[in-house]
Amino acid sequence: AGAVAVLNKEKNFKDYQQVYNAIAEKVRDQDDADDGAGRYGLLTRLAWHSSGTYDKNTNTGGSYNGSMIYSPESTDGENAGLEVARDFLVEFHYLFPWLSRGDLWTLGGVVAVQECGGPKIPWRPGRKDLEDRKKVPENGNLPDASRDADYVRKVFTRLGFDERETVALIGAHCLGKCHTDRSGYDGPWGPSFNMFTNDFYVRLLQNWHVRKWDGKKQYEDDETSSFMMLPTDYALKEDSKFLKYVKMYAEDQDLFFKDFSKAFSALLEKGIEYPKDVKPFEFKTLDEQED
């Protein structure tokens, strides 16, 4: 059997909204962290990497087990820096001991996207902490940013996404930044790195050149030399099938929000089977609750 969601009958929407609020308040308190990026990008990346180990061919991996605290997943080079995200969230394991790691980490991503102006991300609980050490995924499932469009297509096909969903998901690179001491790449993708927007696509369509520096190959924008694109980001522009969606989202932020919401929500649930009729929660932002 696959990973079947375990639903806690004693907890309802209000309990989960309370967890959402607790995380959101801490995120708000740390708005200045990471030179102004806040925690939006970091928590979105944790939710994505905890889910991005999924392999549809074997129906293994994904967010269900909260396995990233165990090696070799914890020490996967692609997860470098995510110990900061897990540390940020660890107090909520104590405040809400009934919540699993997988639920907490994916909910952290929902909070991050929604609190910085992104779309609502429908979310369901029911992940269960790892019981069998053999189920810790091997390294090699999370994408390597030095590669090309065919590689990106292969990784996201393995995750169960089509080209349109792939382009929509990578638009999360509007948030946060690269850190030389984590991935070896450097800098943010744009100036509004603490706001969820379609800026990634708008910017990608502008002019870029390979940055001259001692580090890994990355692109820098012709106009200001202040922003970056990874080789895998730039590959979306070089591949006509991907480019079509880059242009579409650059022109229509509402459409990007709609597609991102659906794809990210699906990403967080990869490999999880839900009993019939389990409706996703749609959390209110802190701002909405203050009205």
Q: Does 230 bind ligand CCH (CB under 6 A)?
A: yes
CB of 126 to ligand CCH, least distance (A): 21
Contact predicate 62/166, CB 8 Å: no
Is the Cβ of residue 130 or residue 267 nearer to ligand CCH in the bound state? 267
Binding to ligand CCH, residues 106-145 (CB under 6 A): 143, 145
Alpha carbons 266 and 35: distance in angstroms, whole number: 31
Contact predicate 229/206, CB 8 Å: no
Q: Site size for ligand CCH, by CB under 6 A?
A: 25
Q: Which stretch binds ligand CCH (CB under 6 A): 168-176, 205-213, 243-251, 281-289?
A: 168-176
Q: Which stretch binds ligand CCH (CB under 6 A): 16-24, 53-61, 131-139, 167-175?
A: 167-175
Give the burial class of 172: count Cβ atoms within 10 A of its Cβ; 0-12 exposed, 13-18 middle, 19 or more buried.
buried
Is the Cβ of residue 182 or residue 203 nearer to ligand CCH in the bound state? 182
Q: Which residues contact 89 (CB under 8 A, 6 or more apart)?
A: 23, 43, 46, 104, 105, 108
Contact predicate 203/187, CB 8 Å: no
Among 19, 169, 229, 268, binds ligand CCH (CB under 6 A): 169
User: Choosing from 48, 49, 105, 208, which is the catalytic residue?
Assistant: 49
Q: Does 37 bind ligand CCH (CB under 6 A)?
A: yes
The amino acid that residue 105 corresponds to is W
Whether 189 is catalytic is yes
Whether 213 is catalytic is no
For ligand CCH, what does the binding mask look like between residues 170 and 209, x meaning CB under 6 A?
Answer: x-xx-xxxxx--xx-x------------------------
Q: Strand 228-229 relative to strand 272-273: parallel, antiparallel, unpaired?
A: unpaired
Torsion angle of the four alpha carbons 92, 96, 99, 103, in this order, in degrees rounded to the nearest 10: -40
User: Choosing from 105, 123, 189, 208, which is the catalytic residue?
Assistant: 189
Alpha carbons 271 and 264: distance in angstroms, whole number: 14
Catalytic sites, residue numbers? 49, 189
Q: Which residues bind ligand CCH (CB under 6 A)?
A: 37, 41-42, 44-45, 48, 81, 143, 145, 152, 169-170, 172-173, 175-179, 182-183, 185, 230, 232, 264
